[in-house]
Amino acid sequence: METNVEIRRLLDVMPASGRMMTKIVIKPEQAKVIDATFPLPWNRERPIYINFDLWRRLTKAQRDLLLLRTVSWLIGVKWFKPDIYQGMAIAGILGTFVESAQADPVGIVVAGGLTTLAMVRIWRTNRSQQTELDADQAAIRVAQRRGYSEAEAAQHLLSAIEGVAKIEGRSGLEFTELIRSQNLRAIAGLSSVSVPESFDK
């Protein structure tokens, strides 16, 4: 597998929003097959790091689904969207500036606390188990537009999760991966037990 050819192929597999927001970076020194850091609000570009020496050990379908899942997770992180917590954060920031201008220490503490509370809630929502499951389902939807059936896409993503763990030399799956795997088994029709809706513990 020639790296530049594979990168071009992966860019074709990505949705248009993924091509605009993410960037594939070759990283042969990393121990993970594919990795992406949690995108912070000021990060304009969201890099996806791939160790192509490890990457080539996966099947084409596994690589497709793994990439689509990573892209879906990255573009699914929303720091600025209209909801109550973003509104609280903005109100808290504005309140902090107003109270600072008036030199009101109690007001500054209250406004600062409101901002912190809202930002922590936004952070936790973006790092929740539900966000992980949503990224899997978004990847499967994109894969269906690339010729995979829903069940096939779920099976390939499931086998990719298990394959990556073996390639990376891990003894087993992480907790989040176990939850995702169970959900993917249900989507693929391999299990009648699925993860409850709105699972975000």
β-partners of residue 24 are: 48
Q: Taking the domains of the chain in order of start, what are their residue ranges? A: 84-126
Q: 102 or 36: whose pLDDT is higher?
A: 36
Q: Determine the pLDDT at residue 39.
A: 83
Tell me: the pLDDT tens digits for 73-115?
Answer: 999 877 655 555 555 555 666 666 565 666 666 666 666 666 6
pTM of the full predicted structure? 0.77
User: Would you say residue 200 has pLDDT above 50?
Assistant: no
